[in-house]
A = this chain, B = another copy of it.
Amino acid sequence: MRIGELAERSGVSRDAIRFYERQGLIAAQKSESQSNTYKNYPEEAVFTLEVIRDAQAAGVSIADLIVLLSQYHAADGADFDGEDFLIEKIQEVENRIEASQRFLETLRQTLRALKNAAH
């Protein structure tokens, strides 16, 4: 599919998609037609972009994602050791979730206090 459709379907802007592509997070082929320079994104890219969005929300940088996604794709059959890195990132995300939950509690308390003050 072309970038416009991918942008539409994934909810990610064209510019962001191109940015991720430059970083090597998603891949595209040159169009099979030789008359244009349009790129061809695989179906899979929609899913990859969703993962990227979740990862960004989880506070994981693109630099880390480059490593992680390569592991994800290599997971069937690779033997090089990225396990430590993976474990580290899992820990980081878990920590961030906990911090987020603490902060959420603070926000909820504030909301309750605000409502009481309005009495």
Residue A16 interfacial (CB < 8 Å): no
Chain B residue contacts of A58, Cβ below 8 A: 96, 99-100, 103-104
Q: In the complex, which residues 54-111 of chain A have their Cβ closer than 8 Å to any Cβ of chain B? A: 54-55, 57-60, 68, 71-72, 75-79, 82-83, 86-87, 89-90, 93-97, 99-104, 106-108, 110-111
Chain B residue with Cβ nearest A90? B107
Expressed in whole angstroms, the minimum distance between the Cβ of A94 and any Cβ of chain B is: 7
Chain B residue at smallest Cβ distance from A75: B113
Give the residues in chain B near A53, CB-CB below 8 Å.
99
Q: What's the number of copies of this chain in the assembled complex?
A: 2
Nearest residue in B to A102 (C-beta to C-beta)?
Answer: B54
* Number of A positions contacting B (CB below 8 A): 43
Q: Answer yes or no: A115 CB below 8 A from chain B CBs.
A: yes
Contacts A59-B59, A118-B79; is A104 near B97 (CB within 8 Å)? yes
The residues of B that contact A114 with a CB separation of less than 8 Å are: 71, 75, 78, 82-83, 86
Contact of A106 among B72, B95, B103 (CB under 8 A): B72
Cα–Cα, bound, A13→B108 (Å): 28
